[in-house]
Structure 1
Amino acid sequence: MKQILILISFLIVFSYGMVQEQAYPKKPIPSTKVIPPYDFAIIQKYAEEFLAKPYHGLMADTVYPDLEDYFIVDIRSPADYCSGHIANAINIPFHTIAANSSLAKLPTDKTILVYCYTGHTASQSTAILNLLGYDAYTLQFSAMAWRNVTQVGIWSDSHLEDVYGANYPFVPC
């Protein structure tokens, strides 16, 4: 219950900065919700610890030789996870990362490495997990850094560019 309250408080505080697929009003509507002081102190403590880290992401070349040192979480869709993922990674889709059933799968005594398609949602997940007390890092550039080549929409979904990565193996389900 405490973790859910922390997450809800985090989402209230940072909701306007997150990109979501919905229509936004021209001017943000201020929140009328107030975070209770006892919850805010917990969030503030974990936020300060997270922000005090000199870095929040790890490069593929740093991670690859020592994969067994990390608990790896792929937050992409189940279909993309099954088409290929980092060996020993588990799939917890982004929209379920803070669910009790998802958190129950995560260790509290091992470094968690989170990756997605490009690193954006992995960074959000990493911040959420750190606010909940986990030791989590983002795989910088995520799946793009792991694969040989990934096509990415630069200005739009119709304008694709090749992004070259390290060419480490992905394994299918």
Structure 2
Amino acid sequence: MEFLQQNWYWAALAAASGSWLTVELIRGRGDKSQLSPVEATLLINREDAIVIDVREQGEYAQGHIPNARHIPAGDIERRSAELEKWKSQPLILCCTSGARSASAAAQLRKAGFDKVYNLRGGMMEWQKAGQPVSRKRK
């Protein structure tokens, strides 16, 4: 008990981080359309998932997931016919943080695409997980 009184800030930090992890775990279980970098890699390798990078050209050129197709978020609706050839395959959408790709994924679901996933945390999480990055144009 004396230890906790003298080190209350460490105990508070441990409680806060534990709560945050629990909330993230619960939130992540409810939405199966959100993939971690590892889950995305498994889907790419096992089911030939197509990665679509929805960032702007300059962001894409700085580095993207290998073999990712580049279709900026603003062009998703206009270029949905181009995506029709992949309608039966899983599509993984990514951006910098996962926000733009989440809204682009919602657009594709409305257009009738069933197997649409969002890379949770986007390229930031992808790189943090140590996954490969390419600068080649696809």
Tell me the TM-score normalised to structure 2 length: 0.69
Find the counterpart in structure 2 of residue 67 from structure 1.
44
Which of 115, 120, 125 is the aligned partner of 1:140? 120
CA RMSD of aligned residues (A): 1.5
Letter in 2 for 1:63: A
Corresponding pairs, count: 102
CA distance in 1, matches of 2:40, 2:58: 24
Alpha carbons 2:40, 2:92 under 8 Å: kept: no
Q: CA deviation at 1:91?
A: 0.4
Q: CA deviation at 1:65?
A: 3.7
Tell me the TM-score normalised to structure 1 length: 0.55
Q: CA deviation at 1:104?
A: 2.5
Q: CA deviation at 1:55?
A: 2.1
Over 3 Å counting, the alpha-carbon distance change for 1:54 and 1:79 in structure 2 is closer
Alignment of 1:41-120 (within 5 A): 54-68=31-45, 69-99=48-78, 102-106=79-83, 107-120=86-99
1:49-97 deviations in whole A, cap 9, x for unaligned?
xxxx852211111122442421110001112112211011100001111
Bigger-Rg structure (1/2): 2
Alignment of 1:161-172 (within 5 A): 165-172=128-135
Say which SS state the counterpart of residue 171 (structure 1) adopts. coil
CA distance in 1, matches of 2:118, 2:95: 9
The structure with higher relative contact order (CA 8 Å, sep 6+) is 2
Q: Which has the higher helix share?
A: 2
Say which SS state the counterpart of residue 82 (structure 2) adopts. coil
Give unmatched runs, 5+ long, in structure 2.
Answer: 1-29
Alpha carbons 2:105, 2:117 under 8 Å: kept: yes
Q: Which has the higher strand share?
A: 1
Letter in 2 for 1:56: S
> What is the percentage of aligned positions where both structures have the same residue?
25
Say which SS state the counterpart of residue 72 (structure 1) adopts. strand
Is 1:127 the counterpart of 2:106? The answer is yes
